[in-house]
């Protein structure tokens, strides 16, 4: 075989930097094959020093290459029709057409990474970098979508993948669950392809463990709402609130594996959460949310349409005020019955419901305490 060293580097740079000469360092990307996005787990594709690399297995599966592995020699082989590439885990080389590209395969966190353009074009695909959206598109004659249509089709998936939030967002929040109505609420959220935040009571978490696990699996945010939900007990001294929240946190973590520090105290933070109470919450690294729209859904068990009216009037009242829109609901039959209508309404107003993101925390407490 012919040995290729610096020639490989030059070729790879030409392959990729022709699309975007300004790239350098390490950039998270994703990859589409024809009209579909490839699914990636923990290990994501990256641009490394100007070259797009993908975890080996997802890319080869995406282009429908047949793969085998020789454990004795630590060599992967990928074939499509009569074309074959070998990947050596020993010297990190890639071989094709009697050429050996040295030090081209990378291993990151134990996962082999391969150069997208080199592999894709060898197997007869076109490879194009859509720089604005950080997508490498690998395609052949079987693709139907233009680049613009491809991005439009996958816009929501791409935003989720890159953790891009819509400009106008609404937080749907549910208190006092989980209970018999929580699964119905989760069904509606799933059907509407959206998410919410659930402030849960410790005993209810124990009673509905499978519902909690589903909630987390479907990427809703599980938050904390106390153990007793009794104002005479939880506010009896400044340390009780954080103590109850921590017990709830530990129960949630035991059942779901999720460690949450977002809280909502029973009946809202005013007048109960005076300075010593808030100081103890900060000391225990909790965040505390109230709400900006109270639907008073507990009043409207027999007239649930009034819950929707409360949302409408509340959103109108917040226009131009530069405040987060946090809607207070409960895990109840009434709220479940109109949840779909609420979601449709906020979307028609140009907003998208999202769940809480601790990386993008907003201050939403009646005291205006920026520590919480």
Query: Any idea what the CATH number is for the domain that residue 116 is in?
Result: 3.30.457.10
**pLDDT at residue 274 greater than cutoff 50:** yes
Both 213 and 153 in one domain: the answer is no
Task: Identify the CA nearest to 295 among candidates 186, 179, 173, 187.
Answer: 173
Work out whether strand 262-263 and strand 287-288 pair parallel, antiparallel, or are unpaired.
parallel
Q: Does residue 370 form part of some domain?
A: no
Catalytic residue list contains 330: yes
119 and 193 assigned to the same domain: no
Q: Which of 175, 176, 280, 297 is catalytic?
A: 175
**DSSP string for residues in 126-160:** EEEEEGGGTEEEEE-TT----HHHHHHHTHHHHHH
At residue 60 the predicted structure's pLDDT band, cuts being 50, 70 and 90, is: very high
Same domain for 233 and 127 = no
pLDDT at 13: 43
pLDDT in tens, 64-123: 999 999 999 999 999 999 999 999 999 999 999 888 998 899 999 999 999 999 999 999
Q: Report the C-alpha gap between 79 and 66 in whole angstroms.
A: 5
157 and 180 inside one domain: no
Phi, psi dihedral angles at 363 (to 5 degrees) = -80, 115
Active-site residue flag, 103: no
Q: Which domain holds residue 107?
A: 2-161
Task: Clarify whether residues 95 and 216 are in a common domain.
Answer: no
Query: Does pLDDT of 288 surpass 50?
Result: yes
Domain annotation covers residue 75:
yes
Specify whether the CB–CB gap between 35 and 153 falls below 8 A. Answer: yes
Confidence at residue 160, expressed as pLDDT on a 0 to 100 scale:
85
The string of DSSP letters for 207-241 reads H-HHHHHHHHHTTPEEEE--SS--HHHHTSSTTHH
Query: Which tens digit of pLDDT belongs to each residue from 182-209?
Result: 999 999 999 999 999 999 999 999 999 9
User: Both 222 and 92 in a single domain?
Assistant: no
Q: How far does CA 219 lie from the centroid of its chain?
A: 7
Residue 206: both structure tokens together: 């124990």
| Orientation of helix 333-348 relative to helix 305-318, angle to 10° | 40
Catalytic residue from among 133, 154, 330, 331: 330
Burial 232-264 (b: 16+ CB within 10 A, else e): eebbeebebbbebbbebbebbeebbeeebbbbb
Helix axes 182-191, 333-348, angle to 10 degrees: 20
Tell me, yes or no, whether 119 and 206 share the same domain. Answer: no
Number of domains in the chain: 2
Instruction: With respect to residue 369, please indicate whether it lies within any of the assigned structural domains.
Output: no
Q: What is the CATH number of the domain that holds 239?
A: 3.20.20.370
| Residue that is last in its domain, among 99, 127, 161 | 161
DSSP secondary structure letters along 119-132: HHHHTT-EEEEEGG
In a shared domain, residues 43 and 188? no
Give yes or no: residues 83 and 212 share one domain.
Answer: no
Helix axes 209-217, 240-256, angle to 10 degrees: 80
Q: Scanning the structure block, which residue is given the tokens 């020699």?
A: 73
Predicted local confidence at residue 193, as pLDDT:
92
- Calculate the average pLDDT of the chain: 92
Among candidate residues 140, 161, 182, the one where a domain is terminated: 161
> Among the three residues 161, 189, 208, which one is the final residue of a domain in this structure?
161
């Amino acid at each position: 075989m012919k040995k290729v060293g610096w020639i490989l580097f030059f070729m790879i740079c030409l392959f990729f930097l022709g699309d975007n000469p300004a790239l350098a360092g390490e950039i998270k990307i994703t990859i589409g094959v024809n009209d579909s996005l490839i699914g990636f787990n923990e290990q994501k594709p990256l641009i490394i020093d100007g070259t797009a690399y993908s975890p080996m297995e997802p890319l080869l599966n995406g282009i429908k290459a047949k793969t085998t592995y020789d454990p004795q020699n630590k060599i992967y082989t990928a074939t499509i029709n009569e074309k074959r590439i070998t990947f050596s885990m020993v010297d990190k080389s890639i071989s094709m057409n009697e050429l050996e590209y040295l030090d081209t395969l990378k291993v990151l966190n134990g996962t082999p990474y391969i150069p997208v353009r080199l592999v894709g074009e060898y197997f007869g695909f076109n490879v194009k970098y859509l720089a604005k959206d950080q997508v490498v598109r690998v395609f052949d004659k079987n693709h139907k979508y233009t680049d613009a249509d491809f991005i439009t089709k996958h816009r929501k998936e791409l935003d989720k993948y890159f953790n891009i939030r819509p400009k106008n967002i609404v937080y749907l929040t549910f208190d006092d669950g989980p209970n018999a109505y929580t699964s119905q609420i989760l069904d509606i959220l799933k059907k509407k392809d959206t998410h919410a935040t659930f402030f849960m009571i410790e005993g209810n978490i124990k009673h509905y463990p499978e519902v909690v696990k589903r909630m987390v699996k479907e990427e809703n945010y599980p938050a904390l709402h106390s153990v007793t939900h009794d104002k005479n007990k939880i506010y009896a001294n400044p340390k009780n609130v954080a103590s109850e929240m921590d017990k709830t946190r530990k129960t949630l973590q035991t059942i779901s594996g999720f460690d949450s520090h977002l809280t909502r105290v029973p009946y809202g933070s005013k007048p109960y959460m005076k300075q010593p109470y808030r100081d103890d919450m900060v000391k225990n690294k909790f965040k505390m949310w109230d709400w900006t729209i109270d639907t008073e859904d507990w009043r409207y068990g027999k007239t649930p349409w009034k819950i929707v009216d409360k949302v409408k009037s509340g959103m109108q009242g917040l226009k131009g005020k530069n405040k987060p829109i946090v809607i207070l609901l409960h895990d109840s039959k009434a709220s479940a019955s109109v949840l779909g209508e609420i979601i449709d309404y906020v979307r028609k107003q140009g907003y998208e419901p999202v769940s809480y993101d601790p990386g993008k925390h907003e201050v939403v407490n009646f005291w205006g305490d920026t520590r919480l």
